[in-house]
Amino acid sequence: MKGLRGLKFVLWVVGLCFLAAFSLMWMPWARLTATLTFAGKYVGVSALPGTPEVIYLFRIICGLVALVGLFFLLLALDPLPYGRMVTLGGWGLMFMGAACILAGIASNVPWQNYVLAGVFCLTLGMLIIVPYSVARKAAAGQETGEIDEEMPGAEF
């Protein structure tokens, strides 16, 4: 079916990227700050303070991000029956990307801190919504008995 393979691929990529936050949830704090300090040289992120409140919030946020990853992996198994949830996931990612960019601009932080996350979320949101609409139209055409014509660029 048109667009379904590409949609499943993007949902798997999003799910696995978000599920990777689960590993950060259990990483020792000293190792995590060393990793962030190393990565911070390239993207402009400074080290996090090691106060108990920051550690707790970081671990809880990582758990919530991993939960969102499980949501996308569930959708990747069979996206068509979950119609509105797939649309919600795509629009939610695009909203998150816009929020990252706008919050970064409003906070006057260096652009390297927020552009990568914002563009990542915006792009993947679009890559979910477009193939889903193509796959949904193709599925509706098969249900009504219409001929499924090839459309250039519909398959990934």
Q: Model confidence over 15-38: pLDDT tens digits?
A: 999 999 998 888 888 888 888 777
Using one digit for the tens of pLDDT, what is the confidence trace for 84-102? 899 999 999 999 999 999 9
Number of domains in the chain: 1
Whether 15 and 140 have beta carbons less than 8 Å apart is answered as no
Q: Is residue 41 part of a domain?
A: yes
* pTM, entire model: 0.76
- 64 has pLDDT over 60: yes
CA neighbor of 129 nearest in space, from 71, 84, 98: 84
pLDDT band at 153 (very low <50, low <70, confident <90, very high): very low
Q: Is residue 155 part of a domain?
A: no
pLDDT, position 82: 86
Q: Is residue 119 part of a domain?
A: yes
Q: Which residues of 36-55 are buried (b: 16+ CB within 10 A; e: fewer)?
A: beeebeeeeeeebeeeeeee
Domain that holds residue 99: 4-142
CA 99/CA 88 separation, integer angstroms: 16
CA 83/CA 134 separation, integer angstroms: 12
Q: Is residue 77 part of a domain?
A: yes
Q: Is residue 150 part of a domain?
A: no
Whether 132 and 87 have beta carbons less than 8 Å apart is answered as yes
CA 156/CA 8 separation, integer angstroms: 10
pLDDT, position 32: 83
Between vectors from CA 57 to CA 56 and to CA 62, what angle results, nearest 5°? 100
